[in-house]
Amino acid sequence: MIYENNEQKRSTLWRTVLTVSSVLIIIVAVFFIVKLFTGNPLEGKWVSEATGGTIEITDKDELVIQSEGGESTTIVRGFVDTKTKTLTVGLNGEGDRKSVV
């Protein structure tokens, strides 16, 4: 047994283990909550079932659009407004934008 039959040392060790595990659980929970509410909900790779084309939305607000088979690739700037649930995609520069709901 740990620390033989010394109840005080076992109690101290048990409190230490509980404290460390509780702190780790709180840190992990805070990380997931922050990631859930501050991240881009559309971030990732999206594949069209009909054509096979892909759209990849990065964390730098870039949309990488690839046609079927990866023949052509287009990179455009985009912005996701989480309050109005709108995806805004840049077309011909910074001024021209088109919104997609």
pLDDT for 48-89, tens place per residue? 888 888 888 887 778 888 877 767 778 888 877 777 878 788
pTM of the model: 0.51
Q: Which of left, alpha, beta for 81 (phi over 0: left; psi -120 to 50: alpha)?
A: beta
Region 6-33: mean pLDDT is 93
Question: Burial level of 97, CB count in 10 A (0-12/13-18/19+)?
Answer: middle
How far is 85 from 78, CA to CA, in rounded Å? 13
